[in-house]
């Protein structure tokens, strides 16, 4: 299996975040990427072929199919504007957010101070923007774009269901059209979806894509981006009532022509283990087959693991290859993108488990 990665993804390295009111080392660390990369490159059977993305690939047009221009421009300029305004050199962090209970607002981000803009374009405190953040998030999106291109190329030349892994980091599924949060700045999975759909301009009909989001947290950003789009089916398994707290209910089923193209399958915190998870994954698989997509995009988080430091499901390591095997059974060209997972000791093993299960070994 091809694995696309970029060393530039390691550049983003904020020192701290606040968890339950307490400053702690930033959980979404560059070491996560190193762990997964090492686990794959050290595979005894050498099943994984690592390929670094070409740094020159211009992906701005791909990003702008998902994110608003003003948001991308903000991300690019946020750090320098912040420092110029006297903000701490460690990075941009918001102080205040527009709140739905405090209207009316006359919001023009172009006229705001840098610190106000930081709150306008972010929904929590876990997305600091350091001097190197923009370079890293662009590299992560570039990995997603290149992997999508390779999947399209591979699908045209082979009959067997084909899979590629995009080793994206920072992750993406919490990032919306114009907002960052939850360690996510650019929605790598959404950007990849649009690449898959636009790869063959001469195709008679726009390819249909299903996103299977198996990160522990609800992918509020992916949901928002495709909420009224019937060409993309979004299905998520996630913890009910945990972060990001305000989305992920089963009543959120899409709107307009996207009605029934959004499926949330919340699971209970603390008690969800392997068997309940796999049974729910089967429901997701059935819904994906009913939609009959041309491609499958998997938002692959392994923060469902029993000892994950910020999550509380009870999945064990052997479950991950069973998850991968079930994904393979869908028989679709599949693009995996890395999302969450914070238990460092087993991060590589668990991600590799899913991919091993997909390959069938």
Please tell me whether residue 240 binds ligand SP5 under the rule CB under 6 A. Answer: no
Positive or negative, the CA dihedral 293, 298, 299, 303 is positive
Closest distance to ligand SP5 from the beta carbon of 236 (Å): 12
Beta-carbon count within 10 A of 322 CB: 18
| Residue whose CB is less far from Zn ion, 121 or 313 | 313
Among 91, 221, 301, 324, binds Zn ion (CB under 5 A): 301
Please tell me whether residue 17 binds Zn ion under the rule CB under 5 A. Answer: no
Closest CB to ligand SP5: residue number: 340
Within 49-88, the residues that bind ligand SP5 by CB under 6 A are none
Stretch that binds ligand SP5, among 57-65, 81-89, 181-189, 288-296 (CB under 6 A): 181-189
Name the catalytic one among 174, 217, 218, 238: 174
Cα 196 to Cα 210: distance, rounded to the nearest angstrom = 11
What is residue 10's three-state secondary structure?
Answer: helix
Please tell me whether residue 338 binds Zn ion under the rule CB under 5 A. Answer: no
| Residue whose CB is less far from Zn ion, 215 or 356 | 215
Question: 159 CB contacts (<8 Å, ≥6 apart)?
Answer: none
By the 8 A CB rule, do 194 and 71 touch? Answer: no
Half-sphere exposure in the Cβ direction for 48 (13 Å, CA):
26
Stretch that binds ligand SP5, among 60-68, 176-184, 221-229, 347-355 (CB under 6 A): 176-184
| Residue whose CB is less far from ligand SP5, 148 or 300 | 300
- DSSP string covering 163-187, please? EEEE--SS--TT-BTTBBBTTBSS-
312 contacts which partner out of Zn ion, ligand SP5, none, CB within 5 to 8 A by kind? ligand SP5
Closest distance to ligand SP5 from the beta carbon of 252 (Å): 19
Please tell me whether residue 182 binds ligand SP5 under the rule CB under 6 A. Answer: yes
| Residue whose CB is less far from ligand SP5, 137 or 150 | 137
Stretch that binds ligand SP5, among 115-123, 133-141, 178-186, 224-232 (CB under 6 A): 178-186
Closest distance to ligand SP5 from the beta carbon of 23 (Å): 14
Please tell me whether residue 301 binds ligand SP5 under the rule CB under 6 A. Answer: yes
- Residue 95: closest CA among 105, 87, 106, 103: 87
Please tell me whether residue 344 binds ligand SP5 under the rule CB under 6 A. Answer: no
Backbone dihedral angles phi then psi of residue 334, each to the nearest 5 degrees: -125, 130
- DSSP string covering 277-333, please? HHHHHHHHHHHHHHH--SEEEEEE--TTBTT-TT----B-HHHHHHHHHHHHHT---
| Residue whose CB is less far from Zn ion, 117 or 217 | 217
Q: 188-198 and 133-157 helices cross at what angle (nearest 10)?
A: 40
Respond yes or no: is residue 162 known to be catalytic. Answer: no
| Residue whose CB is less far from Zn ion, 170 or 340 | 340
Please tell me whether residue 339 binds ligand SP5 under the rule CB under 6 A. Answer: yes
What is residue 262's three-state secondary structure?
Answer: strand
Within 165-204, the residues that bind Zn ion by CB under 5 A are none
Within 13-52, the residues that bind ligand SP5 by CB under 6 A are 19
By the 8 A CB rule, do 16 and 25 touch? Answer: yes
Cα 355 to Cα 165: distance, rounded to the nearest angstrom = 8
Closest distance to Zn ion from the beta carbon of 167 (Å): 16
- Residue 206: closest CA among 231, 181, 182: 231
Catalytic site positions: 174
Residues that bind ligand SP5 (CB under 6 A): 19, 126, 171, 174, 182-184, 215, 217, 242-243, 269, 301, 303, 310, 312, 339-340
């Amino acid at each position: 299996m091809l694995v696309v990665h970029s060393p530039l993804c390691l550049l983003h390295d904020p020192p701290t975040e606040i968890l339950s009111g307490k400053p702690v080392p930033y959980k979404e660390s560059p070491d996560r990427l190193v762990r997964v990369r090492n686990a794959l490159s050290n595979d005894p059977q050498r099943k994984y072929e690592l390929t670094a993305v070409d740094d020159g690939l211009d992906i701005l047009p791909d990003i702008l199919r998902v994110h608003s221009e003003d948001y991308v421009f903000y991300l690019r300029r946020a750090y320098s504007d912040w420092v110029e305004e006297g903000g701490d050199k460690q990075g941009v962090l918001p102080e205040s957010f527009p709140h739905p209970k405090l209207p009316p607002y006359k919001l023009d981000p172009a006229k705001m101070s840098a610190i106000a803009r930081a709150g306008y374009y972010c929904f929590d405190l876990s997305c600091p923007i350091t001097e190197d953040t923009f370079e890293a998030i662009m590299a992560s999106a570039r990995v997603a774009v290149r992997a999508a291109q390779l999947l399209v190329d591979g699908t045209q030349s082979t009959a067997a269901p084909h899979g590629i892994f995009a080793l994206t980091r920072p992750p993406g599924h919490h990032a919306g059209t114009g907002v960052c949060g939850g360690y996510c700045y650019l929605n790598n999975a959404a950007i990849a979806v649009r690449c898959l759909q636009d790869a063959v301009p001469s195709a008679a009909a726009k390819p249909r894509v299903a996103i299977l989001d198996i990160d522990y947290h609800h992918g509020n950003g992916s949901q928002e981006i495709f909420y009224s789009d019937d060409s993309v089916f979004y299905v998520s398994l996630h913890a009910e009532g945990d972060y990001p707290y305000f989305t992920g209910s089963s009543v959120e089923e899409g709107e307009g022509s996207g009605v029934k193209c959004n499926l949330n399958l919340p699971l209970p915190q603390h008690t969800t283990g392997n068997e309940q998870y796999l049974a729910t994954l089967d429901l997701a698989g059935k819904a994906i087959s009913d939609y009959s997509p041309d491609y499958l995009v998997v938002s692959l988080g392994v923060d469902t693991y029993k000892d994950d430091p910020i999550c509380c499901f009870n999945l064990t390591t052997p479950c991950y290859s069973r998850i991968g095997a079930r994904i393979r059974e869908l028989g679709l060209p599949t693009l995996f993108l890395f999302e969450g997972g914070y238990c460092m000791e087993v991060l590589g093993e668990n991600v590799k488990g899913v991919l091993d299960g997909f390959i069938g070994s």
